[in-house]
Each structure stands twice: as C-alpha cells, then as structure tokens.
Amino acid sequence: MAKYIFVTGGVLSSVGKGIITSSVGKMLQTRGVRVTAIKVDPYVNVDAGTMNPYMHGEVYVTIDGGETDLDLGWYERFLDLNLTMNSNVTTGMVYQTVIEKERRGDYLGHCVQIVPHVTNEIKRRIRYVARESKADVILTECGGTVGDIEGLPFLEAIRQMRLEEGFENTLYVHVALVPILDVTGEMKTKPLQHSVNELRRIGIQPDTIVARSRKMIDAEARRKIALFGTIPDDAVFCSYNVKTVYEVPLILDVQGMGEFVRDRLQVPTREPKWSTWKGFVDTVLEPHHSIKIVLVGKYAGLIDSYVSVNEAFRHAGAKCQTEVSMKYVEAESFEKHPEKLVTLKDYDGIFVPYGFGPRGSSGKIAAIQFARENDIPFLGICYGFQLAVVEFARNVCHLERADSTEINSSTPFPVIDLMPEQHNVKAKGATMRLGSHKILVEQGTLAYSLYKSEEIDERHRHRFEVNPLHIPTLEKGGLVFSGKSVDGRRMELLELPGKFFFLASQFHGEFKSRPDKPDPEYYGFVKACLDRKLEGSKVKL
C-alpha cells in the first residue's frame, strides 16, 4: 500500500519547496524506498506550456510530452526518475475533467461542487500516479503558499487523504521562511507561526516543519516553531543556505529528517547510501578547473528560465571537475550594439538555447556566426540549432536572406519551416512536437563519439524543423546532419567537421541530464571548452 507525503509552503513562494520535496524523496530513496513525486499547481492554466518562462520559469518537458512545472525537473534530477505528465496536476486540468464529466452526464441529477467533485478528481489524480509509478511513497508538493485562494481545493483534498489513507500512511511537511533581521541577527518565526495557523484553520496539522533560513536556526527559534507548531522539537528541521542545492538532502539527513520520516511512515529501509551523491557534491564544491560560457538568449534576466540548462552544465562540469560559470547576455544587445560581439572572445564557449519568435533572433545568429568564424566551441539547442542552420545557409551557402519562417514568412530560402503537420494547428496549448522521440546517430561523427550509440531517445518541444528541400544545399556547403529521426525526414543533430567543437541539436539534452549522468552534448561541449582553454588542443573524449 502506498504512503503519501504532502509538502505545503508558507510565508513566501520560491523558497525552495521543490528542492526540499526532492530532498525528502532522496533521503527515502537512498534508504531503498521507491519514491515518486507530484506537483499540484493551483493556477488555472491547464499546463505550463503557454506560460512565459520569464514570469514562471522554464517549461519542463516529460518523456511523454507533458509541458510541466520546472519542479518536475528537480524531482527527476534528484531522484533520477522519468516522470510522466500525470505528475503535474493543475486547477485547469482538474476543472477540465470535472466539466467534461458534467457535460457527458456522469453526475446527472447532482449539483457539481468543489467538495466532493473537484476534491475527488484531485485525489483520483494523486492515486493514479501512485498506481502508475508503483512507488512505496508518493510525495505531493502543493504549489503556492497556504492561504492562496486557488490552493484551497488542493489542501482540502490532501486533508481528506489522511482520513482515507490513515495516519501512519500520510505525512504533512510544512516549509516556511524564517527571516533573519539584518540589524539584530534575530530569527523571526512569527510569519511561520501564522502560516501554520492558516494550515490548521484548513484542518491540516503539520507533522514536521522545515524552516527555510539563511543560517541554521538557533535553539530559541526551534523551540518557538515546535511550540507554536504543536510538534516535538526534534520534528523541526532547517534548510539553511548552502553553496549548491544538491547539499540540501545531506544537511537535512544529518539533522535526522530521513530517520524521522522513515519512522513516522514505518517504511522498511536499509542503511542510507550517500557515497555517489556526496562524491558529486564534493566535485561541485571543489572543482579543479573553471570555464566561462556565455548564454546568448532571450530570457536571460531570470535564472529560472534556463534552470535545466544550468543544471546540465553543472552535471557536465562535475564530470570534468570543472566549474562552469555562466554569463547570460540578452541577444538583442548584439543587435543594438554589434561592436559588442567581440566580447564573445572572452568566453571558452558560446551557447544558444531554445527560444521562440523573432525578438533577439538576429543577435543569436550573429553570435553563432562569431563562434563559427572564430572557432569558439559552440552548442545550440532547439532554436539554437535552427538558427545555426540559418546562419550557415546565409553566410556559407550564400542563400541570401535565408531564414526561419517563424522569423520571416516571406524569406526566399525558408531553410527552417513549419513541420507539415503543424500547418492546420491553431491552438497553442500542447500542440508542438513534444516529448521523447528516437534518433539515429551517424557513425563516425562527433555526435557518435559523444553518444556512443546509433540509437538515442531525446525530448523535444518545437513546431519548426529543417526544411527537407534545402538539405542538399546545406550538406554541399559542409554542414553534417549527424542525427536524424527514424524515418530520416527530420534533422536532429548538426555539426561542422574541422571545427574545434560545433554541435547543435533540435532536441533538448538538458532534460535527461542527471548529477552522475551528464548529458552527452553538454558534456562534450564543456569538455571541449576546457580542452581548448587548457591545451588549445583537439577534443579528446
């Protein structure tokens, strides 16, 4: 029988509830417990696909093509899982199902209400994941903070789950910020007390509280949190600031949280095994080398827009014992100030990530041209791949004004064009080419030396592709398409032989990157940047 852990948040959002949820999962997993995780998001969007990454952070793509909240990325990276889209439940989804049922007549005669119909649908979705995953423990993180109007049906659903699943099979973790006053250094627990009160008003008494604080909480703060939270002192834990988020499960376990959760849920466990995880954390904390990579993007102002990319670089860096420092540059700045392009010389590698629409595209193309002409290691992802094709078509194949039709629909050379099946698509939600697809990698190429396999599976999120009409011209110019879809129609990887490292992919390798299993394209790129910096010599893989 599955057991459930529910994680709620108080005081403020964005205090790292996703990391703490992942860490609780990690503490159990490392003791041999099978875990999975769900994010419930109270917003009314059906999924995260239509949300601006600049406001909400990146859209994470699951193997089955779900466009989900970025916290699923943290669950996958910490727990090395491949979740499905069912692991992200939104108000939009829940209501969509309930309303469809109502229209079908499934509730005929009944007045359809938040309790029980909406709450039943929430519980059904959580239990569905429990069955689908066959996990022993299902962690459910509630997005937002306690007290948000939109979150109430979700909290009511998890309240009911204690009644239905039993006390020993459910655990409530409450995470809240404990600010420290700059002037006196005093730890203020009052906001946390209020959020616990709010939770109790809804009918949930937390079993354990994680104080999120800059420093380890002192005895006085712990005593207050325990007293006002009505929990024992030893059920209070602290997630204080650490250099890397991958330390969080370690610092919580040292405080006894792993044992606490295990005892409370009575799950059979073995001795925790931390050696691999610790090894990774140590290399992140004490790298031998460092490289500088510039990300030329559109959402460069918000770090969460590229969270999986950043982590993929961290994982790849750890394997090379290298700290990868990322500099984010708005692509548009190269359009307004082309003289700034030469500053790209100061970096060990140039990275152009995914993106949409014309804004900033010329700046990205200019950066790619700079990388190619100056032989600076280059990696492009999705839009970065497509724009590398545009740049090559214009500047090497002399197809003047070649473009992607996403940028210029009347270009004479539409080297990147809408996929045929996209022509009649009007709706924006969940209509791109999404999720995992097989790719055949050509032997003897750079890509093959990285993937060491003729067949790989990678995640996608795009509407446009390389236009098959122009492939012969591009290939004649020297561009090598080293990975293709199984039917050979879709170009998935490109490279430029003779360059130090010039690789781009239509897919997103970052979604598969894990701390101890860096993604091959990111790893190859980081390794190349390091090789070039250290010895100026060719890539040795």
Q: How far is the CB of 505 from ligand GLN (least distance, A)?
A: 11
Q: How many CB atoms lie within 10 A of CB 241?
A: 11
Using CB under 6 A as the binding rule, the residues of this chain from 442 to 471 that contact ligand GLN are 461-464
Q: Strands 502-505, 491-495: parallel, antiparallel or unpaired by DSSP?
A: antiparallel
Residue 292, token pair as written in the block: 């500088």
Torsion from C-alpha of 440, 422, 48, 354, nearest 10 degrees: 50
Closest to ligand GLN by CB, 275 or 424 = 424
Question: How far is 379 from 61, CA to CA, in rounded Å?
Answer: 20
- Site mask, ligand GLN, residues 392-431, x = CB under 6 A? --------------x-------------------------
Helix (H) or strand (E) holding 88: strand 88-90
Catalytic residue among 247, 458, 492, 510: 510
Using CB under 6 A as the binding rule, the residues of this chain from 320 to 349 that contact ligand GLN are none
Question: How far is 312 from 535, CA to CA, in rounded Å?
Answer: 24
Closest to ligand GLN by CB, 4 or 328 = 328
Give which of 238, 229, 176 is closest to 204, Cα–Cα: 229
Question: Length of the chain in residues, anyone?
Answer: 541
Q: How far is the CB of 431 from ligand GLN (least distance, A)?
A: 11
Q: How far is the CB of 338 from ligand GLN (least distance, A)?
A: 24
Q: How far is the CB of 386 from ligand GLN (least distance, A)?
A: 6
Closest to ligand GLN by CB, 367 or 382 = 382
Using CB under 6 A as the binding rule, the residues of this chain from 81 to 100 that contact ligand GLN are none
Beta strands in 383-426 (DSSP E): 403-404, 414-418
Using CB under 6 A as the binding rule, the residues of this chain from 158 to 197 that contact ligand GLN are none
Q: Which of 126-134, 141-149, 231-239, 380-388 is the region at the interface with ligand GLN (rule: CB under 6 A)?
A: 380-388
Question: How far is 395 from 401, CA to CA, in rounded Å?
Answer: 10
Closest to ligand GLN by CB, 269 or 506 = 506
Residue 111 appears among annotated catalytic residues = no
- The three-state secondary structure class of 422 is helix
Q: How far is the CB of 360 from ligand GLN (least distance, A)?
A: 12
Question: How far is 417 from 225, CA to CA, in rounded Å?
Answer: 58
End-to-end CA distance of the chain, in Å? 46
Residue 11 one-letter amino acid: V
Q: Which of 147-155, 270-278, 379-387, 407-415 is the region at the interface with ligand GLN (rule: CB under 6 A)?
A: 379-387
Catalytic residue among 320, 382, 397, 529: 382
Under rule CB under 6 A, how many of the chain's residues touch ligand GLN?
A: 11
Which DSSP letter does residue 117 get?
A: I
Q: How far is the CB of 462 from ligand GLN (least distance, A)?
A: 3
Using CB under 6 A as the binding rule, the residues of this chain from 346 to 365 that contact ligand GLN are 354-356
- Burial class for 259, CB neighbours closer than 10 Å (0-12, 13-18, 19+): middle
122 binds ligand GLN (CB under 6 A): no
Phi-psi region of 536 (alpha: psi -120 to 50; beta: other; left: phi over 0): left
Count CA atoms within 13 Å of residue 372 on its CB side.
Answer: 25
Q: How far is the CB of 51 from ligand GLN (least distance, A)?
A: 14
Question: How far is 474 from 181, CA to CA, in rounded Å?
Answer: 61
Closest to ligand GLN by CB, 8 or 361 = 361
Helix (H) or strand (E) holding 157: helix 152-165
Q: How many CB atoms lie within 10 A of CB 420?
A: 10
Which DSSP letter does residue 486 get?
A: T
Closest to ligand GLN by CB, 6 or 522 = 522
511 binds ligand GLN (CB under 6 A): no
Q: How far is the CB of 74 from ligand GLN (least distance, A)?
A: 20
383 binds ligand GLN (CB under 6 A): yes
Q: How far is the CB of 433 from ligand GLN (least distance, A)?
A: 8
Closest to ligand GLN by CB, 118 or 381 = 381
Q: How far is the CB of 465 from ligand GLN (least distance, A)?
A: 7
Give which of 361, 351, 362, 382 is closest to 502, Cα–Cα: 351
3-state DSSP of 238-276: EEECCCCHHHHHHHHHHCCHHHHHHHHHCCCCCCCCCHH
Q: Which of 229-237, 274-282, 381-389, 392-400 is the region at the interface with ligand GLN (rule: CB under 6 A)?
A: 381-389
Strand order across the 464-466 sheet = 403-404, 414-418, 464-466
Closest to ligand GLN by CB, 235 or 503 = 503
Closest to ligand GLN by CB, 53 or 317 = 53
Catalytic residue among 174, 508, 521, 529: 508
Instruction: Name which position in 382, 479, 493, 503 contacts ligand GLN (CB under 6 A).
Output: 382
Contact 39, 162 (CB under 8 A): no
Beta strands in 443-514 (DSSP E): 455-462, 464-466, 480-485, 491-495, 502-505
- Site mask, ligand GLN, residues 275-314, x = CB under 6 A? ----------------------------------------
Closest to ligand GLN by CB, 383 or 413 = 383
Closest to ligand GLN by CB, 355 or 515 = 355
Q: How far is the CB of 217 from ligand GLN (least distance, A)?
A: 42
User: Which amino acids are annotated catalytic?
Assistant: 382, 508, 510
Binding site for ligand GLN (CB under 6 A): 354-356, 382-383, 386, 406, 461-464
